[in-house]
């Protein structure tokens, strides 16, 4: 969560040059460049770190990690032979790969591509890559420099996967998620603590990739790669390696930053010898500027007279085909960082082949019930086998409210499939929040697995309310940015006042913006406390136009930018640049401020409309009356419910159905009759619990219905 004072937020926004925006510095030098593509920016580590270090908590943790590393580094390097450290054993690094914008239909291809990239990393970090032979012919030009070998290896995890994140992430299969919104769109995800994470997604501004400098597997940090700079070969539908960055070396480079390696040069243009000192490692000559393309290997001068630059080093910017080595000094630093700062936090027993067994996962992790209105609650779960496990597993449950019953259907399984837990007799239970542990026990091996679900038996419901902006300042002109780059001032802002108090469970934001070249835009939302904020849009995509009817939702997929100046971005639900979950747990009431900033001159536009939908947990409405002869049957069933009662008001009758988050999925209005008899069909609804609301004029009742 980013949490500062409102004055600081405004100052930060004005001075903000986010990670995706660093390509703008090159992209917008002229209006012609503004309209045409340029060579991608190789790496954005410095930009990423500059942005992240503005978070005081991140900065504190980073400095503590670096201080601890420096204290241990000298002792770690005391041994003269790197292969003798760690008892001579190779450090195995568990890897997870995430494709948030890909399709599950690509799984087989993406798994192969991920393994291809891991094979490249294993070769590059052990100096067994085929093109390392090129070093032998030129090594004499680099006295004191030898090719480095790290005593580490990489494996994609196959066992003990985190559960409840991706239904297709099966035990025994590689730790590869598809469509999972890693970190809510950020580059850190605590669900994947203990793994070296690679996130492969579109990155705007032509950036190939970025990584934290000195990453943390404990925090769940990730190396983020663009879809055209990951792996080699033909690629897949959504991830296609593109020349000259199609040999997987950008991932090798970015991972070097994760292992605390700096660039070998002082600057990416405009560098000066003696200012920066290169990477501070003795066997990599200091170089003023980065090297692009593929020049002859000894043709670029370093900052030392007569000494060529080490342009074939992975931590420079040459094309993939022309970088092929680390130095021994670099690999000493990398291995030391892995051994002292990462290895203690690696997930254990995840790279070994999975043992035969089974997993339990819950599709409904929490259900809301009320003893005065509900008789039962149905949890939907899945049983999946590992390594062709075929024993019969019997299900049981503990932690039920006193007086409740537990019924499983089926009561056991010996193959993959769904099952349900019905918690019955709720009318005899006390209110409270109950953690119910579902246990599976196999026979004859007595393998036991569990999964927890929550029964919130407190007569509450999730209510989602939409708050559209009715501000007279709309449409709001967006102040044009500065020539050469820079946020235009004053920064345009507008407010939605939410009058209702309530603890935020989840929320979405919808905007309608007319603006050419959307990469110029930053949309920042600030909570009424004036200190908590996040970026909905932060110079994402490129030369596309407009953000028309765009809903930002943490549960949605990362945007796949259409590309091109003739393209528009419209009618989409996408994950925000930041995370709306930063606001979860805060009070919804008060003035919410939306800042809209333009970061470069020449393209202008306006904010046409925006709205906030906030879901809060509220007391279930208890009717002060009863409908005569109300019948809802059959309940549960497969989605077709009959409703009957005798209306009294003489006004229209409204039937509404909401999912458990309070989102409307059906609304029908009927004329008043002496006896109401209608059927509603929810055949397309997923299995689960829903709220059925019946309004007879001013009178209203809410009942739970269950779709099997």
- Whichever domain contains 472, its CATH number is 2.60.120.260
Q: Are residues 408 and 526 in the same domain?
A: no
**How many other C-beta atoms lie within 10 A of the C-beta of residue 702?**
18
Q: Are residues 60 and 145 in the same domain?
A: yes
Q: Given a cut of 90, is residue 218 above it in pLDDT?
A: yes
Decide: 209 and 43 in contact? Cβ < 8 Å.
Answer: yes
Q: What is the pLDDT of residues 383-421, one digit of tens each?
A: 989 888 999 999 999 999 999 999 999 999 999 999 999
- Whether residue 135 lies inside any domain: the answer is yes
In angstroms, rounded to a whole number, what is the distance separating the alpha carbons of residues 445 and 437?
A: 21
End position of a domain, from candidates 598, 618, 638 = 618
Tell me the backbone φ, ψ of residue 233, rounded to 5 degrees. 90, -160
Rounded Cα distance, 461 and 46, in Å: 46
If asked whether residues 589 and 605 sit together in one domain, one would say yes
Mean per-residue pLDDT, 188-196: 95
Tell me, yes or no, whether 581 lies in a domain.
Answer: yes
pLDDT at 26 over 70: no
Asked, for residue 211, whether it belongs to a domain, the answer is yes
Tell me which residue range forms the domain holding 384.
Answer: 370-458
Is 675 found in the same domain as 530? no
Same domain membership, residue 431 and residue 470 = no
Q: Are residues 109 and 242 in the same domain?
A: yes
In this structure, is residue 430 part of a structural domain?
A: yes
Domain boundary among 425, 443, 458: 458
511 and 614, same domain (yes or no): yes
Same domain for 443 and 515, yes or no, is: no
Residue 322 belongs to a domain:
no
Model pLDDT for residues 506-530, shown as the tens digit of each residue: 999 999 999 999 999 999 999 999 9
Q: How far is CA 311 from CA 7, 268, 316, 334, 656, in A?
A: 45, 13, 6, 19, 66
Residue 85 falls inside a structural domain:
yes
For the stretch 689-702, pLDDT in tens is 788 888 888 777 77
Residue 291: inside a domain, yes or no?
Answer: no
Quick one: 532 and 470 in the same domain? yes
Q: Are residues 67 and 157 in the same domain?
A: yes
Q: What pLDDT, on the 0 to 100 scale, is given for residue 660?
A: 63
CB half-sphere exposure, 285, CA atoms < 13 A: 23
What's the average model confidence in pLDDT over 237-244? 94
Judged by DSSP in three states, 334 sits in helix
Helix axes 107-126, 249-258, angle to 10 degrees: 70
Residues in contact with 621: Cβ distance below 8 Å, sequence separation at least 6, in sequence order: 461, 700, 701, 702
> End of a domain among 311, 345, 379?
345
User: Domain check: are 547 and 603 in the same one?
Assistant: yes
Residues designated as active site: 254
- 449 lies in some domain: yes
The CATH number of the domain holding residue 385 is 2.60.40.2310
Q: What is the number of structural domains in the chain?
A: 4
Pair 454, 473 in one domain: no
* CATH code of the domain covering residue 120: 3.40.390
- Reported as a single tens digit per residue, the pLDDT across 292-309 is 999 999 999 999 988 999
User: Taking each helix axis from N to C terminus, what angle separates 328-337 and 56-76, rounded to the nearest 10 degrees?
Assistant: 120
């Amino acid at each position: 969560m980013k949490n500062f004072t409102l004055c600081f937020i405004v100052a930060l926004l004005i001075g903000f040059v986010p990670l995706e925006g660093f390509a703008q510095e090159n992209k917008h030098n002229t209006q012609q460049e503004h309209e045409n593509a340029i060579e991608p920016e190789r790496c954005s580590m410095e930009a990423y770190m500059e942005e992240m270090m503005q978070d005081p908590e991140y900065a504190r943790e980073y400095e503590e990690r670096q201080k601890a590393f420096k204290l241990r580094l000298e002792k770690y390097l005391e041994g003269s032979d790197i292969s003798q450290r760690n008892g001579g054993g190779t450090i195995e690094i568990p890897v997870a790969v995430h494709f948030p914008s890909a399709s599950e239909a690509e799984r087989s291809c993406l798994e192969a591509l991920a393994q291809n990239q891991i094979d490249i990393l294993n070769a590059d970090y052990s100096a067994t890559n085929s093109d390392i032979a090129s070093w032998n012919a030129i090594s004499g030009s680099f006295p004191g420099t030898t090719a480095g070998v790290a005593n580490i290896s990489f494996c994609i995890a196959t066992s003990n996967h985190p559960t409840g994140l991706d239904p297709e992430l099966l035990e025994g299969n590689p730790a590869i998620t598809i469509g999972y919104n890693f970190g809510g769109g950020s580059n850190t995800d605590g669900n994947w603590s203990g793994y070296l994470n690679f996130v492969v997604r579109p990155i705007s501004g032509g950036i190939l990739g970025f990584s934290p400098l000195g990453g943390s597997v404990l925090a769940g940090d990730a190396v983020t790669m663009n879809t055209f700079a990951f792996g080699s070969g033909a690629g897949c539908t959504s991830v296609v390696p593109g020349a000259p960055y199609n040999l997987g070396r950008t991932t090798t480079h970015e991972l070097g930053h994760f292992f605390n390696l700096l660039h070998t040069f002082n600057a990416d243009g405009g560098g000066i010898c003696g200012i920066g000192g290169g990477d501070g490692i003795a066997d990599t000559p200091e170089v003023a500027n980065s090297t692009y393309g593929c020049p002859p290997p000894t043709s670029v001068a370093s900052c030392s007279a007569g000494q060529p630059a080490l342009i074939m080093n992975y931590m420079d910017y040459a094309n993939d085909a022309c970088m092929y080595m680390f130095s021994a000094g670099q690999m000493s630093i990398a291995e030391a960082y892995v051994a002292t700062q990462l290895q203690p936090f690696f997930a254990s027993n995840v790279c070994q082949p999975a043992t035969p067994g089974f997993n339990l996962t819950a599709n409904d992790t929490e259900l809301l019930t009320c003893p005065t209105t509900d008789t039962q609650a149905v949890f939907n779960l899945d049983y999946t086998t590992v390594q062709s496990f075929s024993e019969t597993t019997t299900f049981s449950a503990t932690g039920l409210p006193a007086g409740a019953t537990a019924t499983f259907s089926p009561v056991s399984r010996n193959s993959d499939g769904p099952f349900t837990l019905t918690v019955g007799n709720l009318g005899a239970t006390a209110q409270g929040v109950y953690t119910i542990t579902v246990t599976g026990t196999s026979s004859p091996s007595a393998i036991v697995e569990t999964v927890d679900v929550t029964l919130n038996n407190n007569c509450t419901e999730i209510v989602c309310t939409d708050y559209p902006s009715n501000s007279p300042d709309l449409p709001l002109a967006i102040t044009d940015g500065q020539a050469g780059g820079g946020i235009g001032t004053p920064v345009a802002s507008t407010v939605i006042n939410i009058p209702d108090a309530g603890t935020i469970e989840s929320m979405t934001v919808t905007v309608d913006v007319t603006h050419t070249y959307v990469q110029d835009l930053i949309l920042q939302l600030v909570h009424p406390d004036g200190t908590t904020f996040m970026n909905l849009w932060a110079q994402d995509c490129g030369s596309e136009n407009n953000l028309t009817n765009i809903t930002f939702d943490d549960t949605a997929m990362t945007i796949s930018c259409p590309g091109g100046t003739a393209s528009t971005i419209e009618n989409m639900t996408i994950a925000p640049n930041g995370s709306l979950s930063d606001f979860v747990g805060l009070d919804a009431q008060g003035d919410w401020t939306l800042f809209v900033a333009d970061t470069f001159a020449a393209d202008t536009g306006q904010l046409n409309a925006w709205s906030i939908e906030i879901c809060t947990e509220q007391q279930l409405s208890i009717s002060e009356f009863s409908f005569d002869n109300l019948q809802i049957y059959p309940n549960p069933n497969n989605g077709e419910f009959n409703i009957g009662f005798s209306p009294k008001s003489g006004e229209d009758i409204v039937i509404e159905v909401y999912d458990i988050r309070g989102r409307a999925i059906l609304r029908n209005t009927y004329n008043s009759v002496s006896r109401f008899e209608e059927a509603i069909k929810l055949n397309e609804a997923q299995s689960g619990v829903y709220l059925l609301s019946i309004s007879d004029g001013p009178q209203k009742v809410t009942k739970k219905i269950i779709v099997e």
